[in-house]
Amino acid sequence: MKFLNLYFLGLILIVCAAPVTSVAQSLEERARETLEKNKAALVVVTVQSSLEAKTTGEPLPARAQQRRTLGVTIGDDGLIVVSNSAIDASVGLEGQQAQLGEDVVSIQSAKSVFQSVEISYGDTTLLSGKVVRQDEGADVAFIMPDQSEAETLGKKFEFVDLSKFAATAQAADQVIGLSRASGVYGYMPIMTVGRITGVFKSDRTYFVTEAGTAQGIPIFTMDGNPVGVTVVRIIDGKPSGVLGTLSAGSIQIMANLAREAAE
């Protein structure tokens, strides 16, 4: 009888353990499907600008800047969202000190004059673009690709639909972060799977996640719904160096304002 009890106990353990492997495989498959579905919406944006600053003395000489960052296409019109501080070198410079000749001066104001924007779509397509709106406090900027160039090339924009945002996402949920690797790996699409470790709600909602490891990374639930896009928290007008995923709902509202500005 003892042998039979042990035998049945073994069967129970096997039956209970079997679904765990199945669930783990299912999560991996969902992550791969999310990457496959959204990889064409991931773009590499290169921005050329001139950094200008006024000081307590003479203005600083203009400095040429080049910034390259990840962007996410969020509409069939090609509108792209990026982390603003990733393209704008002027963010947080006000109040900083600078060397001007032999003098030390304080920067009273600074701005980036955008000169060119190049968008690479990972399929050999390159389009020019324009920064149409910036929200420095939210660390979000929007770029509209040149519609005439897109039409000439017959470019159809694949995009992340923010209207399907995950309104119920909460701490401990598993999430997927999508990005592109560096040029060393040909900017191939990549992913990271992690969890939401916290939700911060103030005037905007931010998700702290294990998958949002760099600016511009979009975060998705395991069902493939967008949670938001990773940005830098701006505190008192200065980049904190701390990342957070701004909710897709907030970005959608700002995107509509960007479209109005682009008209």
Q: Quickly name the fold that domain 15-39+163-262 has.
A: Thrombin, subunit H (2.40.10)
Q: pLDDT tens across 180-206, in order?
A: 999 999 999 999 999 999 999 999 999
Q: pLDDT under 70 in the chain at which residues?
A: 1-25
Given this model, what pLDDT does residue 20 score? 46
Secondary structure of residue 156 in the 3-state scheme: coil
| Helix, strand counts (H, E) of the chain | 4, 13
CA pair distance 121, 101, nearest whole angstrom? 43
Domains 15-39+163-262 and 41-153 share a fold: yes
Integer distance in angstroms from the first to the last C-alpha of the chain? 81
DSSP for residue 149: H
- Joined together, the tokens standing for residue 262 give 């682009």
What integer pLDDT is reported at residue 14 of this predicted model? 46
Beta bridge partners of 126: 120
The residues spanned by each domain of the chain are 15-39+163-262, 41-153
- Domain 41-153: give its CATH superfamily: Trypsin-like serine proteases (2.40.10.10)
Cα separation values, 89 from 38, 40, 79, 152, Å: 29, 28, 22, 33
Q: What is the pTM of this model?
A: 0.89
Per-residue pLDDT at 21: 45
Q: What does the pLDDT read at residue 22? A: 47
